[in-house]
Amino acid sequence: MILRAICIAVIGLLGCRGAETTHGTTNESGSAATESATAGGAATGGAATGSAATGSGSAGSGSEYVPAEFKSGMARWKDTVVYLDGDPIGYLTFGELPVTLKPTWIKSKVSQNKPPGCDKCLAWKWGEQRSYKFTDYLKAMGINIQKIRQMHVQGPKQTDTIVVTAKDLLEPKANDFLFRFGGEASGKAIPHVPSKFGNGMGPDKITSVMIYVTKAPPTFDEVGYVLDGVPIDGVPYHGEPLRGGVRIYLDDKLAAIIKRQELDVKHAKTMSDGQLSWGLYDFLKSKGIDSSKIVEGYVIRDERRKEKLPAAELEKLWFQASSQAGGSVLLGDQKVVANVIALHTRALKPEELPQVRPEEEE
């Protein structure tokens, strides 16, 4: 019993020490992040108002369940989020790329099966790999490259961060500053950095992208970010990295995030199956999002745009967010599974939608 008590005391001491060294620029209640999101709103591409949009703050601020393996260190950066001056504007996944962003196809070797008994036959052939220029992504997100003070593309560690300026992004070399996805049209984002570009870093994956236009970029020490002389163990000007939830986009900008534990039950209605449901447009209104100009929306599931919904259907749509949903919501009577909802104020043409090649579905 004495030995067990000593162990518990040591674990508690280590936990306290970890809490003391985890810093962000929000206060303990996370109010700074909420105020930033409120000021941004849907118009600027920042997440909508309220705690559902911020996903940050202290550990006791009603955050969703997080498995133990994602609670500390760089494991907290499970989702690759793009931040503009500390405000989240999107997630760097194939299914959440802006529709105006078109791929750059890079010639590359791909494997192929050799015919039986043909020793001279090659086990590879020339193919094309889907990639995207960072400069094209910035333009698609409506960011003026000339005004960028710095852009940080974070790797597996904060000290692996690629640092580039507007000058770097306007050079011809920037055409080879790319990212792709591990599963071609799915998976984790992977950077390609030309030689001697920016600060010369070249991590093997991307855990976050942080763009600074109006706010001063942080500096670095041997551990990570430093802002005004204070170490930052999180997202500068935001706090804890965003994670989880069902994202809602309005014209390719992150507008709100649905998190089950942050939904107000007073605004729900009980359906015939006994489950609580919330009106989609009521939720948008609560986040300060104007739905009057929405023309259509798309249900994104497994990083693909699956169902197209006209405004008339969206307006009367209800969603459920049960604990069994697993990172998704269920839409309407048919309980259509949605990981992401993309709303648009104009009708998209079929050729504007992401086109996935058959070989990329393998």
Count structural domains, the chain. 1
**What would the mean pLDDT of 172-192 be, rounded to a whole number?**
97
Closest CA to 83 of 142, 166, 156, 152: 152
Q: What is the mean pLDDT of the chain?
A: 83
Whole-prediction pTM value?
0.78
In a domain? residue 155: no
Residue 337 pLDDT more than 80? yes
Stretch (H or E) spanning 108: strand 104-111
Amino acid 266 reads K
Residue 338 within any structural domain of the chain = yes
d(CA 243, CA 247): 10
* Domain-located, residue 8: no
Q: What is the pLDDT of residue 83?
A: 98
What's the domain range around 290?
Answer: 246-361
| Mean per-residue pLDDT, 314-331 | 88
Domain membership flag for residue 267: yes
Residue 69 has pLDDT above 70, yes or no: no
* Residues in contact with 64: Cβ distance below 8 Å, sequence separation at least 6, in sequence order: 244, 245, 259, 260, 261
Give the pLDDT confidence of 225-239 residue by residue, as tens digits. 999 999 999 999 999
| Amino acid 37: pLDDT | 34
Task: Tell me, yes or no, whether 148 lies in a domain.
Answer: no
**Does 229 reside within a domain?**
no
What is the identity of the amino acid at 168? D
Write a three-state SS string for 194-245: CCCCCCCCCCCCCCEEEEECCCCCCEECCCCEEECCEEECCECCCECCCCCC
Asked if residue 354 is part of any domain, the answer here is yes
Interval 141-165: pLDDT, tens:
999 999 999 999 999 999 999 999 9
In a domain, 295, yes or no: yes
Lowest mean pLDDT among 34-48, 189-203, 268-282: 34-48
How far CA 180 is from CA of 104, 142, 177, 206, in Å, comes to: 10, 20, 11, 10
pLDDT of residue 109: 81
